[in-house]
Amino acid sequence: MNQMLVMMNDLNRKTVDAARQFSDINLRTADRLTQQQMDLLSENLERGMSVAKRLSDANGYKDVLNVQTEMAQELAEATAAHTRQTFEVLTEARNSVTEFLHKEVKEIVAKATGHKAA
């Protein structure tokens, strides 16, 4: 009976530790994605103000078309950069979860077979 309680206590401790590690990965990812969203919002506000100023300084429809073309190019470049950053964050999160799960599975298999985890 005492051995059963010790085993259950150990299982509970490992479960809480695993949940904490997984939560840390999720929190780190959410923080980075939230920061990216805030940066994107700030950049878009600055870009909007810049375009408004450039449009107000335009001297004709050709200048307006040039500003719109430049704005579209800048926006495309910024979108590509933010997409790359988001992909990197999500790839790191995926790698962290995969590493975490591999470690946990190794420990489970080792415990089940009576061998030490590598």
Place of tokens 């800048």: 74
**pTM score of the predicted model:** 0.75
Residue 43's pLDDT is: 93
- Provide the residue type at 38 as one letter: M
Measured CA to CA, the distance from residue 84 to residue 109 in angstroms comes to 37
Q: pLDDT band for position 117 (50/70/90)? A: low
pLDDT tens across 93-113, in order? 999 999 999 998 888 888 778
Query: What does the mean pLDDT of the chain come to?
Result: 90
Measured CA to CA, the distance from residue 36 to residue 79 in angstroms comes to 12
Neighbour tally for 9: CB within 10 Å = 10
Domain range summary for the chain, segments of one domain joined by +: 2-107
